Amino acid sequence: MVHSVIIVGGGFSGLVIMNKFIESGVDFLLFEKNDRLGKKILATGNGRGNISNKDLSLNHYHGSNPSFCEYAIKTYDNRHIARFFEKMGIILTEENGRLYPLSKQANAILDGLRLSDNGSVRFAKVTDVEYNDGIFTVVADGKEYFAKNVIMCVGGKSSPNFGTDGTAYNLVKKFGHKITPLYPSLVQLTAPKESIKGLKGIKENAKVTAYSNGVKLADVEGDLLFTDNGISGNTVFYLSAYLVNAKNPFVTVDYLYNVNEEVCKKSLASRRNAYPDLTAESFLSGLVHSRISYKTVSDLFGTDFLKVKYKEIDDDKIDKLIGLLKNTEIKITGNTGFANSQVTKGGIDVNQVNNTTMESKLQKGLYFCGEVLDVDGDCGGYNLQWAYSSAMCAYKSVIDRFLKNKD
């Protein structure tokens, strides 16, 4: 039997298309190599399912050709995805610009996407895709299946524990598709030991700015977490999208971004005057975590200074301490790798793909959706939105062809 479509991958984009095909009566098969559909969806947004964002400006998307995603994101935007889920009885709600299901449970999204499962899902790994005489042959678990169209919804190389180990890129190389260099993104960053010494486990609210070769890339406010080998937290996940392939990357941290600098200086001067005999190690602990106070004082004036009395900290030193709290530089040495990253930067070269249909320019009937393409979004719902928008483009192209009986 020759099916109209075979979908490879039962993650977010694959399940969106599955729902649309069921609604339109297109006959299809979907192959998922895990023993369950949409395993990764359950982990998204810390289990709360952050599926889109109020602000879908294109500067939140990256890749070697960032304008590639413009048509898809604008045509199938956050209102479109909200209507899609509304039809399943899932209402979206906003928190700090991020869109979640009202229940704030990612399993609501997955359950919704599985509601219409019509028995067309096969739990098997696709190991080969070939094209001969107008028909695709898809090999899964050693058996051959046939279709007029194949949609690759196989994800990237990040978080292989969810089935996305990057091996699926090989399935399309034979069609001439190029894969741009792959990097883990939305990932913890590593830093030299001395720059984070003594800070493990501390979570501070800060403004963090990312630089490449001294040029500012982006900044963000939020939590910054110190780990045993680097930095993490919302700010770092966000900035990692800019830093993982940057040259000479570093970040600067402003711990006092939401406080007036002069007020801080005055407050430190009065602390000095009120407690002249206390020792310098705790001097900044009214502004930042005590361990950051300790480290800032010793980084600036040396460890001997930690035992110096408050009364010896003159105004010039106060200026310098505040200056460092507002601009602490941390060199970035790397990241914790694909195993710990949420998204893959790089993928199928989008110059070989039609940006309105997601169809290959090299092989008619072959489509790509979601993370497998060289498009990655910022932290905040941008990647699921991309998976949705690209899936809708592919769906529309296949259905147009189907309705026109072109194939």
Task: Provide the binding-site residues for ligand FAD, judged by CB under 6 A.
Answer: 8-14, 31-34, 40, 43-45, 50, 125-126, 153-155, 158-159, 163-164, 168, 342-343, 370-372, 381-384, 387
Alpha-carbon distance values, 43 to 47, 52, 314, 337 (Å): 5, 15, 51, 18
Q: Could you give the CA distance from residue 225 to residue 203 in angstroms, rounded to a whole number? A: 4
> Could you tell me the smallest distance in angstroms from the CB atom of residue 8 to ligand FAD?
5
Which one, 163 or 233, has the nearer CB to ligand FAD? 163
Backbone angles phi, psi at 151, to 5 degrees: -115, 120
Which residue has the CB atom at the shortest distance from ligand FAD? 11
> Could you tell me the smallest distance in angstroms from the CB atom of residue 49 to ligand FAD?
7
> Could you tell me the smallest distance in angstroms from the CB atom of residue 21 to ligand FAD?
15
> Could you tell me the smallest distance in angstroms from the CB atom of residue 318 to ligand FAD?
42
Tokens of 174: 């034979």
Which one, 343 or 353, has the nearer CB to ligand FAD? 343
| Cβ contacts of 222-229, under 8 Å, gap ≥ 24 | 224/253, 226/196, 226/199, 226/200, 226/201, 226/202, 227/188, 227/196, 227/200, 228/200, 229/190, 229/191, 229/193, 229/196, 229/336
> In sequence order, what DSSP letters do the residues of 109-167 get, joined into one string?
HHHHHHTT--S-EE---EEEEEEETTEEEEEETTEEEEEEEEEE----SS-GGGT--SG
Which residue, chain included where needed, has tokens 């600067």? 252
> Could you tell me the smallest distance in angstroms from the CB atom of residue 234 to ligand FAD?
11
Which one, 51 or 399, has the nearer CB to ligand FAD? 51
Which one, 107 or 285, has the nearer CB to ligand FAD? 107
Which residue, chain included where needed, has tokens 């249909």? 357
> Could you tell me the smallest distance in angstroms from the CB atom of residue 247 to ligand FAD?
26
Which one, 210 or 372, has the nearer CB to ligand FAD? 372
3-state secondary structure of 391: helix
Which one, 168 or 398, has the nearer CB to ligand FAD? 168
